[in-house]
Amino acid sequence: MNAEELRNLQAPIKQRYKDDPSSAMVTMRVEGDLVQPKLACNVQTFAGLAEAGLHPAAGGDATQACSGDMLLEALAACAGVTLNAVATAMGIAIKGGKVLVEGDMDFRGTLGTSKETPVGFQDIRMTFAIDSDSPADKIENLVRLTERYCVVYQTLTNPPRITQKLKHL
């Protein structure tokens, strides 16, 4: 896809959102099914069913997906798609590349062995390796714009309000 094709694809969508801002609000929904006694949760994904379970550092046997890994995978996927779209819009030819996402988590927090240790990732690093003949300043701007428009990146850096409720079945 080139820049003109991308603009033509997105132009009517952007116009609709300008004309009717409420049409831009989309509720995405995922449901997880609890699996006992496996200590698992099944989540239907685009690619099929994912059975999530404990990370080996928390007692899992590495036969199930880890939700922490899935979070990092979502960040890598979103950043990669966003980078490709922004590069296309900017007319930057990308020959190839990679998005590497690494996260550091101290499992004492999630296992409750240290109340001072936070639960979750303490650090997440995202590295872009981009093969392009474009000048370095254009590639740096591409990465800056990728971070700006990447939904998962922005959600992690500017967390939304999360509410929870309990329903009895």
Structural domain contains residue 102: yes
Range of 53's domain? 3-157
What pLDDT score was predicted for residue 60?
Answer: 95
Structural domain contains residue 103: yes
Q: How many domains does the chain have?
A: 1
What pLDDT score was predicted for residue 83?
Answer: 98
pLDDT by 10s per residue, the chain, length 169:
999 999 999 999 999 999 999 999 999 999 999 999 999 999 999 999 999 999 999 999 999 999 999 999 999 999 999 999 999 999 999 999 999 999 999 999 999 999 999 999 999 999 999 999 999 999 999 999 999 999 999 999 999 999 999 999 9
| CATH number where 12 lies | 3.30.300.20
What are the contacts of 89-94 at 24+ separation with CB within 8 A? 89/3, 89/6, 89/7, 90/3, 90/138, 90/141, 90/142, 90/145, 91/3, 92/132, 92/134, 92/138, 92/139, 92/142, 93/132, 93/133, 93/134, 94/130, 94/131, 94/132
Structural domain contains residue 49: yes
Structural domain contains residue 162: no
What pLDDT score was predicted for residue 165?
Answer: 96
